[in-house]
Amino acid sequence: MAIDIALAARIRTDLADRGIEWQEKRMFGALIFMVGGSILVGVRGGGGLLARVDPVESADLLADAGPLYAQIADMGGKDMGPSWLDVHPDAVDDEAGLTHWLDACLRRGE
């Protein structure tokens, strides 16, 4: 599936507005945004995010989002663990949703 280029552009704008420098790479079937050499977030094929979050915060993020909007990411049928969440495109269709998830990803790196 094609990467959601509009969502990728929104992430670029958000990071630039925050003064954060990043690099982009294609991996895991996504366009990955890296900050300081570490994966921050990815835009998945078909839309949505591959969010890398603090595993301590993962359960609360999942509970707040609900199972229709976020779940533990799956890679080839294997659970990627609590640091990696698949976020449904509807959960980031507005700026508040995208900001919420990018904030969570950025907290992991603090």
User: What Cα–Cα distance (Å) separates residue 82 from each residue in 4, 24, 79, 99, 109?
Assistant: 24, 23, 9, 20, 15
Instruction: Indicate the CATH number of 5-91 among 1.10.20, 1.10.1420, 3.30.1460, 3.30.465.
Output: 3.30.1460
Split the chain (110 residues) into runs of 10 and give each run's mean pLDDT: 90 97 91 95 90 94 89 86 92 94 89
Kindly state the greatest CA–CA separation across the chain. 37
Question: What's the confidence (pLDDT) of residue 109?
Answer: 66
Quote the pTM value.
Answer: 0.92
Q: How far apart are CA 18 and CA 61, in angstroms?
A: 22
Residue 43: how many other CB atoms lie within 10 Å: 25
Place of tokens 């990627």: 80
Each domain of the chain, given as residue ranges in start order, spans: 5-91
Question: What's the confidence (pLDDT) of residue 45?
Answer: 81
